[in-house]
Amino acid sequence: MKNQKNIPSLDRGAGVKEAAFKTVVYAFLVLCALAVLFPFYWMILTSFKSYAAYNSEYIPKL
């Protein structure tokens, strides 16, 4: 009986571990996907820029 009581708590610990693992996996996949997609995004942006705008990339300041 004691052992059976312990099982749910063990499972909950495993669930938290699993969730943490899933989070790390998804974060990694999203990061890699961004790295893959960014050049395409930039290609489309650049195709709409004038030469002057392409030539003078800067971070706008408030």
Partner 1 sequence: MERNQKKGWLYLLPALLFVAVFLVYPLIDVLIYSVQEGYNSASQEFFGWGSYNYSYVLRDPYFLQALKNTLVLVFLTVPASTLLSLLISLALSSIKKLRKLFQTVYFLPYVTNTLAVGMVFMILFDQTEYSNGLVNLILEGVGFSPVDFIEGPYWAKMLVLCVYTVWTVMPFKILVLTSALASVKEEYYSAARIDGTSRFRIFYKITLPMISPMLFYLVITGFIGAFKAYGDAVALFGVNLNAAEMNTIVGYIYDMLYGDSGGYPSYAAAAAIVLFVIVLTVTVINLLVRKKHVFNG
Give me the residues that bind partner 1 (CB under 8 A), please. 21-22, 25-26, 28-29, 32-33, 35-37, 39-40, 42-43, 46, 54-59
Question: How wide is the angle at C-alpha 41 spanned by C-alphas 36 and 42, nearest 5°?
Answer: 105
H/E stretch holding 7 reads: helix 2-47
What Rg do the C-alpha atoms of the chain give, in angstroms? 24
Residue 4 beta carbon to partner 1: minimum distance, rounded to whole angstroms: 18
- Of 13 and 28, CB closest to partner 1: 28
Least distance from partner 1 to the Cβ atom of residue 62, Å: 15
Output the smallest distance, CB 18 to partner 1, in A: 10
Distance CA 54, CA 15 (A): 49
